[in-house]
Each structure stands twice: as structure tokens, then as C-alpha cells.
Amino acid sequence: MDNINKWNADKYNKHADFVSNLAFPVLELLNPQENENILDLGCGDGTLAAEIIKCKSKVIAVDLSDSMVEKTKERGIEAFVMSATQLTFVNEFDAVFSNAVLHWVKDADASIKEISKSLNDNGRFIAEFGGYGNIKFLTDAMQEVFNRHEEFGNFNNPWIFPKDSEYKQLLQDNGFNVEYIELIPRPTKIDDIRNWLDIFANGIISHLTKEQQNQFKEEVRAILKPKIYSKKDGWVADYVRLRLKAYKTKNSKKE
């Protein structure tokens, strides 16, 4: 089943701007310097790439979404449609920066190898993405709805949410020195769970009819309302982020 998510940059900017707004601690961890060459891996609409450029760094941005890359180019940023597991750069960057992307990459080992290949010796890899326990209420609710409806087929979870220890080992196995890695619970306000599903889970239900898709969203919403909604705070998604800083060692394998 093809469950590739389809990204609409305008809808993303309207309903999911929290992704970029909450990323400034990761930018601080990156600490971009003047004239550094930095790769923004999974740039989205280019919001964070533009922030990095303010520090007088040189940025190349890549994303798997045509829509997102076009939005990034509209900001005057050099951007390309490219996969995290098929980067074309070799020993080119002082840093690779990635926010809210790598939980979409099922082959974590392949993406780490590509990141290593793209970095100069001693180049740094700064990232934040979904970690162990991320959106557990949401994924459990989606699974429950699929279980109720045999006609929907199987629930194909598009994400990986690794433990910090697991991801640290992968980094070390690929020649990285891990300076910092941490799982950070970060409950996150969203405007409505239907909008979240439209943006982040559309690939999961792309094979369903429009009527079935609406049924799916309504049933997921009903399951989640007593768990992650309150009159005081509205909808609060159970996010857990994995944040890290690692350096490529000089003897890293170049594959």
C-alpha cells in the first residue's frame, strides 16, 4: 500500500507552524557561524533555513516535497527535491541541520550514512525529530479505528520513533561522536486534530474513499477528545522529541 504523505505548503503553514516555531532551541544548538556551509535536511517551507541565513551562513535546503521546495525557493534559498537516503553531496558541509523530519525516514541507518557522507571531517549533525513515545495517543487511536474497519485494510504506520540509546548506537556505528542526545517530552498545542490528520496522516488513508477518510478522522477525533482535549488548553498532542548533537570523526567510513 502506498502511504506516502502529500504535503501542501500553504496548509502546512496555516495549521502546522508550531513545527518551526518550537524549533529555536535546535537552532541554538546548531549555533550557525558566518560563512559556514550548512545543509537543511527536510527544509519544509524554508522558515528555519531563512533563520540560519540571518547568521550569514551559506545554506542549501532539501526536501522530498515539491511544494515545500518551491516555497523555500520563493524565499531566495537554494533548494532541491531530494531524499534523506539519497543525498548527492560529498564532504561538502560544516553542519547538517534537520528538524521534525527523520521520524519519517524508516531506514535510519541509510540516512545517517548519507548525512555522514555529506559532512566534512569534524562536521556536526544537529537534529530534532519524533522520539520514543511520540504521539502514542494518536497512533493508538489510528490503529484502533483501522481495527474496527476491516474494509480499511491494514494500518501502515509511516513513522519511526527511536529510543535515544538506539539512535546513539546507530550514530556511533557510523562514525559519529555523540556529544548530546536526549528524549524531551513536549506536549504541543494544535488547532484541531482533524487538521493535524489532514497534514500529517493523509498518506495513511490515501487509499480510502472520501467518505471513509472522513469517517476515519471523525472516529479518531472521538477517541482522542477525552484524552488530549480540554476546554482550558484545547487540543494538546503528546509529542516527545529526540534532540541530538554529534560530530563526524575523521575516520568515518565514506560509503
In a domain? residue 120: yes
Domain housing 217: 9-248
| Residue whose grid cell is 561522536 | 177
Domain membership flag for residue 3: no
Task: Give 56-82 pLDDT, tens digit per residue.
Answer: 999 999 999 999 999 999 999 999 999
Residue 2, in any domain of the structure: no
Tell me, yes or no, whether 143 lies in a domain.
yes
Is 125 among the domain residues?
yes
Domain total for the chain? 1
For the chain, state the CA radius of gyration.
18
Number of neighbours of residue 158 by Cβ within 10 angstroms:
14
Inside any domain, residue 100: yes
63 assigned to some structural domain: yes
124 within 8 A of 31, measured Cβ to Cβ: no
CB 30 within 8 A of CB 246: no
Q: What pLDDT sits at residue 101?
A: 94
239, part of any domain: yes
155 or 25, higher pLDDT? 155
Whether pLDDT at 2 is above 50: no
pTM of the model: 0.89
| Residue 250 confidence class, pLDDT cut points 50, 70, 90 | confident
